[in-house]
Amino acid sequence: MKKIRICILLVLSIGFVACKQGTKGKENTKDTGHGVDHPLLETKTFDTVINNKKVGLYWIKTDSIKAAFTNYGGRIVGLWVPDKNGNMTDVVVGFKDIAGYVHSTEPYFGATIGRVGNRIAKGKFTLNGRKYNIPVNNGENALHGGKKGFQDVVWSAEQPDGQTLILRYTSPDMEEGFPGNLKVKVTYAVTDDNRLKMKYEATTDKPTPVNLTNHAFFNLNGEGSGTVLQHRVKFYADTFTPVDKGLIPTGEIRAVAGTPFDFTDFHTIGERIEADNTQLKHGGGYDHNFVLNGTESRGMNHAATIIGDKTGITMNVYTEEPGIQFYSGNFMQGKNTFKSGVKDDFRTAFALEPQHFPDAPNQPEFPSITVQPGEKYHTVSVYRFSTETAK
């Protein structure tokens, strides 16, 4: 009798352990955004050395939002937020290892962009009577800081707490043709109310142009969910800066009213993207700077609201910058494989880059991006996630 009782207890114990393990497995399947590593991301695939500097994978998180970064290029690797059903969804596309970023045909996935984001016409500008030349890497123009912008450098990284990542880089005088030793500090942080906050700071010892931003590629339905053409978008912008065939601003500030660039009410990305419009033809779709109209929210410009049609995930963008670049994934060609195993197919992600206007060093009517010695460059942008509906 005693032996039978022991056997019954043993069977019950094994069954209890098995049930606990099965429950845990279900929790991890639903909430894949939490843990030291992620099923699609492993720390060991990011641990390497580039240019004699250590590269790694860094996590910041709260109970309801989690982001992965690498200090190679100061990149957002993934960002998990809850959808309308409470399931954690990765809304930033990226790669599963460093090799993916090093060899990608698209160099800007998730990257911190500098020294000057966006385009400089013919890679030339004049500052205080001296002419400067930036290596061209986008047709006849310089894009995102030249051939080796901040996306190709290794940043020093520190984490003062589990919700904050601080990245630092000193760009030496005349790196990529820009004057001055520029000391840059970027602080990425997540908050309890589902915000990803980006704070940029910089100082210089010579006058120099500075326009820092981040180039995360978003799909609010989740990486690998298909195109973003049914996402609904609203911009708090009444004007935009039209461009020439090389995507350099003409200098005009043009009203969006009556054009496919009017997102003052909600429209889907794909609704008018194939319209017979010269500006859309120049960009192959949307690849334009919208001039924010000063709608204030949370002490900053409310730049945009975007809603994923399948998940209900809503992203509100707030910034201290005067403009935001909207890029609809027009040059994605399916040549790279994301961490989920899908290709970076045409228009399967979009970018929203808070910024000063493109080609500002050559456009005297645009807000200046020149930083002087003794000044401190400082700007903040915030991406807030919720499951609100369009209003």
Sort 10 into a burial class: Cβ within 10 Å, 0-12 / 13-18 / 19+: exposed
Q: Which of 209, 381, 357 is nearest to 289 (CA)?
A: 357
In this structure, the number of other CB atoms found within 10 A of the CB of residue 51 comes to: 9
First CA to last CA distance, the chain = 70
Instruction: State how far the Cα of 148 lies from the Cα of 174, in Å rounded to an integer.
Output: 12
Q: Could you tell me the sign of the dihedral formed by the alpha carbons of 115, 118, 124, 130, in that order? A: negative
Dist. CA 238–CA 257, nearest whole Å? 7
Amino acid type, 54: K
Phi, psi of 379 (to 5 degrees): -155, 150
Sequence-ordered list of residues with C-beta below 8 angstroms from that of 19, at least 6 positions apart, any chain: none
Q: Encoding tokens for residue 120?
A: 């400089």
Q: Which of 231, 220, 224, 218 is nearest to 349 (CA)?
A: 218
Q: Give the number of other Cβ atoms within 10 Å of residue 136's Cβ.
A: 18
Dump the DSSP string for 314-353: EEEEEESSSEEEEE--TT--S-SB-TTS-B--TTS-EEEE
Phi first, then psi: give them for residue 371, nearest 5 degrees: -110, 135
**Residues tagged active-site:** 215, 353
Q: Which H or E run includes 278?
A: helix 278-283
**CA 35 to the chain's CA centroid:** 22
**Is the CB of residue 241 less than 8 Å from the CB of residue 291?**
yes
Q: Which residues pair with 126 in a beta bridge?
A: 131
* Pair 314, 86: CB distance under 8 Å: no
Q: Which two tokens stand for residue 266?
A: 């909600």
